[in-house]
Amino acid sequence: MAKTAIIEEPGGPENFRIVDREVGEPGPGEIRIRHEACGLNFIDVYQRTGLYPLQMPQALGMEAAGVVEAVGEGVTHLKAGDRAAYASAPPGAYTQARVMKAAQVCPLPDGISFEEGAAMMLKGLTVQYLFRRTTPIARGDTVLFHAAAGGVGLIACQWAKSEGIRLIGTAGTDEKCRLALDHGAEACINYRTEDWAAKVKELTGGKGVDVVMDAVGADTFEGSLNSLKPLGMMISFGNASGPVPPFNIGVLGQKGSLKITRPTLFTHIADHATCQQMAKDLFDKVTSGAVRIRIDQRFALEDVAEAHRALEARKTTGQTVLLP
């Protein structure tokens, strides 16, 4: 049996229930893993509220780290006793233990703790595909990154600095701006006190940025397009303020032949070999010290509702983990 946080219908954090669930044995291509820590992400909120519909009842959570207890037939990259971490669909990580497909579970280096592993997989692999797999970004290019003091943002700030990429961040308080600067952002704009789109143009000598990485969504979309230089790339990869409303695609031409994409991590990691290589790239950044995983909030699994309230209220910085 494993304590598991589930929801039975979409709604607020009060909808979480802690139940005991049978774990079972892994079948072909599967593993059983006992979690030491589980990650918390905004996609969990989207799923809980029904923005991303799920079949109910459903355990939430897209990433975790722990120890492999058993492997099914055909699994060769992991064995019982291995330390491992993953970001994977479908959800189900808010639990003490689970049986799941092995393809996206990655061996966790000894130099990375379980808490770091749980906190970094979805966010870190997201940063990996943003900087390495979405559009060419060269040393000296300029990136605008919204929510730069959040879980993905702090990894992105460090990643950009390690690659010689100029990152301009936005955040909602001066304290969060300082946090982004401390993690490698060249500049960070308090969007509550400044016209951030105008400031971006000022910081780029009127040219605009090469790439915008925007997980905020509706609130920042128009300003993000206005912050791009001609032929720039808009990467819209989240909806923290709500989904982007429909828009006239002709606007992209009017603003300088802009490009736009709406990627998801799970497309990038669907292939086993690609996922494992992306994870190795991320692990190398962490073990080399180029990227530090900052965990600012820890909650017991039983307090998952409180964790979601803090995340939705934008009261969190860095990473948040649940301890089962």
pLDDT digits (tens, 9 = 90+) for 167-186: 999 999 999 999 999 999 99
The pLDDT assigned to 16 comes to 98
The pLDDT assigned to 300 comes to 98
298 - beta bridge partners?
321
The pLDDT assigned to 315 comes to 86
For residue 59, give the DSSP letter. Answer: E
Give me the mean pLDDT over the 140-164 stretch: 96
In this predicted structure, which of 8-12, 30-34, 315-319 has the lowest mean pLDDT?
315-319
Q: How many CA atoms lie within 13 A of 320 on its CB side?
A: 27
Quick check: helix, strand or coil at residue 313? coil
Which residue stretches of 134-271 are H helix? 151-162, 174-182, 196-203, 221-226, 250-254, 265-268
Whole-structure pTM value: 0.93
The pLDDT assigned to 93 comes to 98
> Domains along the chain?
2-122+266-323 (3.90.180.10), 135-262 (3.40.50.720)
- The pLDDT tens digits of the residues spanning 197-216 come to 999 999 999 999 999 999 99
Report the distance separating Cα 136 and Cα 66, nearest Å: 34
Summary mean pLDDT of the chain: 96
Q: CA torsion, points 60, 66, 67, 72, in degrees to nearest 10?
A: 30
- The pLDDT tens digits of the residues spanning 228-242 come to 999 999 999 988 888
- Percent of the chain exceeding pLDDT 70 equals 100
The pLDDT assigned to 242 comes to 85
The pLDDT assigned to 314 comes to 82
Give me the mean pLDDT over the 104-131 stretch: 97
User: Which residues, in sequence order, are CB contacts of 65 under 8 Å at separation 6+?
Assistant: 35, 36, 37, 83, 84, 85, 86, 108, 114, 115, 116, 117, 118, 121
- Percent of the chain exceeding pLDDT 90 equals 92
pLDDT band, residue 33 (cuts 50/70/90)? very high
pLDDT band, residue 67 (cuts 50/70/90)? very high
Give me the mean pLDDT over the 315-321 stretch: 87
The pLDDT assigned to 106 comes to 98
pLDDT band, residue 243 (cuts 50/70/90)? confident
